[in-house]
């Protein structure tokens, strides 16, 4: 039986961490190990993590004296992980009980796949109630495998998000080198698509995970900071055009997935790279740029209108 490691970087998430840990504990197929990296929290996050480790087997807690950033914490967890598959989780997201069962079932059929991803969904908690906003990709009626070339074509047609909530082949992650610290909030985006464009991906439709919508999240604040986002995009392009990523460069460009990174089209123009600026990419990129900063419902409506290929 294949084994699973969950790596959970935490920084001042005491308000959300209990619910996230409960969603791991409720899995119909539990993970074999949970590696929790407290990244210099100043709230009760570490206390909550240690208490959870005392009452649950397979939990490892590490604590950084100073905050090093989410990518550095993820790399620390990757070095400790021993599972065949690995999930890099966020401390404020939720996983439904059959997440791991569903992912492992399709990955067992297609062991060559680099990862398994699901329909994206977000949620908001207000006044004690939780509102979930699913976004069905409708890539297939049931679990399916996509070859690298099939994934490129699907991404051209739709706004496909392979988020940090996917289950990855750990050896594929190690081959890529894990997370680049300079990519900051786009670290998982680049890693996931590199793995998927090399080895293909499995897709499971339906509601299996959901991320917490927060206007002031690490990602939201980062992409709105024009100067910081430009630095991140510059590093992303630097990586994409180095020799190591020559095998996935055209897949990134032909698929149009770079449109998911706000301002990527401007960076490509500044580099004089016109080959990836096809009409489908430009429409999705500009639509995505407009959607940033809007409430999640309006983001979903605007992006759906701009996601289809010509």
Six token digits for residue 283: 């429409």
Counting as low any pLDDT under 50, the low residues of the chain are 302-303, 305-310
Q: What's residue 307's pLDDT?
A: 45
Residue from 201, 180, 200 nearest 190 by CA? 180
pTM for the complete prediction? 0.90
Residue from 21, 110, 114, 39 nearest 77 by CA? 39
Calpha distance 139→119 (Å, rounded)? 9
Tell me the backbone φ, ψ of residue 95, rounded to 5 degrees. -125, 130
Task: Report the DSSP pairing between strands 33-39 and 4-10.
Answer: parallel
Q: What's residue 247's pLDDT?
A: 97
Cβ atoms of residues 39 and 121 within 8 Å: no
Q: What's residue 166's pLDDT?
A: 97
Task: Report the DSSP pairing between strands 167-169 and 85-88.
Answer: antiparallel
Helix (H, G, I), strand (E, B) or coil at 101: helix
Q: Which CATH superfamily is domain 4-306 in?
A: Spore Coat Polysaccharide Biosynthesis Protein SpsA; Chain A (3.90.550.10)
Q: What's residue 296's pLDDT?
A: 52
Cβ atoms of residues 219 and 129 within 8 Å: no
DSSP states of 203-237 as a string?
Answer: EE-S-SEEEEP-TTSHHHHHHH-HHHHHHHHHHHH
Calpha distance 292→97 (Å, rounded)? 31
Contacts of residues 284-290 at CB distance under 8 Å and 24 or more positions apart, as own/partner, are: 284/159, 284/256, 284/259, 285/256, 285/258, 285/259, 288/159, 288/259, 288/260, 288/262, 289/262, 289/263
Task: Report the DSSP pairing between strands 144-146 and 201-204.
Answer: antiparallel
**What residue spans define the domains of the chain?**
4-306
The DSSP output letter for 276 is T
Helix (H, G, I), strand (E, B) or coil at 89: coil
Inter-CA distances, 197 with 63, 114, 125, 172, 191, Å: 34, 8, 35, 11, 10
Q: What's residue 9's pLDDT?
A: 98
């Amino acid at each position: 039986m294949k084994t699973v490691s969950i790596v959970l970087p935490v920084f001042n998430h005491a308000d959300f961490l209990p619910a996230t840990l409960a969603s791991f504990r409720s899995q119909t197929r539990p993970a074999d190990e949970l590696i929790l990296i407290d990244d210099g929290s100043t709230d009760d996050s570490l206390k909550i993590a240690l208490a959870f480790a005392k009452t649950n087997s397979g939990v490892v807690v590490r604590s950084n004296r100073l905050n090093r950033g989410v990518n550095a914490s993820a790399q620390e967890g990757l070095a400790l992980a021993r599972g065949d598959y690995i999930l890099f989780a966020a401390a404020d997201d939720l996983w439904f009980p059959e997440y791991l069962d569903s992912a492992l079932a399709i990955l067992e059929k297609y062991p060559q796949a680099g990862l398994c991803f699901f329909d994206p969904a977000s949620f908001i908690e207000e006044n004690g109630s939780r509102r979930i906003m699913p976004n069905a990709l409708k890539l297939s009626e049931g679990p399916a495998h996509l070859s690298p070339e099939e994934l490129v074509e699907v991404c051209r047609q739709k706004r496909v998000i392979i988020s940090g909530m996917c289950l990855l082949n750990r050896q594929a992650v190690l081959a890529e080198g894990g997370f680049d610290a300079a990519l900051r909030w786009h670290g998982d985006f680049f890693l996931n698509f590199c793995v998927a464009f090399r080895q293909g991906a499995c897709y499971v439709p339906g509601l299996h995970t959901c991320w917490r919508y927060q206007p002031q999240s690490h990602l939201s604040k980062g992409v709105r900071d024009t100067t910081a986002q430009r630095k991140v995009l510059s590093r992303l392009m630097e990586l994409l055009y180095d020799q190591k990523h020559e095998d996935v460069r055209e897949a990134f460009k032909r698929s149009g997935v770079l449109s998911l990174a706000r301002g990527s089209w401007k960076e490509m123009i500044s580099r004089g790279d016109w080959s990836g600026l096809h009409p489908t990419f430009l429409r999705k990129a500009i639509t995505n740029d407009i959607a940033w900063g809007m409430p999640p419902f309006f983001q979903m409506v605007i992006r759906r209108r701009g996601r289809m290929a010509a």
